[in-house]
């Protein structure tokens, strides 16, 4: 399974990449919104973990791009951010995010359950 992580924080980058690779995922990393869009355009992913607060383009910008370019049909996106206000969650879901997880309440097992759920849903709709 291929996963794209769009995250600018080096601690979270290393943690996610290592944990997912331990579970045999192939992981690509984008360190800002522009790079995330470039990678989404160049390759198909089974899932994407997307931070909202990033340099160059925000996660909301990436979601808008993915929605406008029909990428969401093939790549489910889970927003994983410290922004946890209802308005932020609602906006992300309206822009096409498959799910939303708040980093402030980080639990890797819960995140893996969300990843597995969106990948399974994608496989049953394809």
pLDDT at 84: 66
What tens-digit pLDDT sequence spans the chain (126 residues)? 899 999 999 988 998 899 999 999 999 999 999 999 999 999 999 999 999 999 999 999 999 999 999 988 889 999 988 776 788 889 999 999 999 988 776 678 888 888 988 888 877 765
Q: Which domain holds residue 88?
A: 2-125
| Cα separation, 40 vs 24, whole angstroms | 21
Task: Kindly report the pTM of this predicted structure.
Answer: 0.89
Q: Which residues of 59-80 are buried (b: 16+ CB within 10 A; e: fewer)?
A: bbbbbebbbeeebbeebbbbbb
Give the chain's domain count: 1
Cβ pair 99, 63 in contact under 8 A:
no
Q: Residue 101: what pLDDT? A: 86
């Amino acid at each position: 399974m291929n996963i794209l992580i769009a995250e600018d924080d080096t601690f979270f980058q290393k943690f996610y990449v290592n944990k997912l690779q331990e579970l045999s995922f192939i992981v690509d990393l984008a360190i800002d919104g522009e790079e995330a869009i470039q990678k989404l355009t160049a390759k198909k992913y089974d899932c994407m973990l997307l931070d909202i607060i990033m340099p160059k383009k925000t996660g909301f910008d990436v979601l808008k791009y993915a929605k406008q370019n029909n990428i969401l049909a093939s790549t489910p996106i889970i927003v994983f951010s410290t922004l946890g206000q209802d308005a932020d969650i609602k906006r992300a879901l309206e822009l096409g995010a498959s799910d939303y997880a708040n980093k402030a309440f980080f639990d890797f097992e819960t995140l893996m359950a969300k990843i597995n759920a969106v990948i399974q849903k994608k496989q049953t709709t394809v």
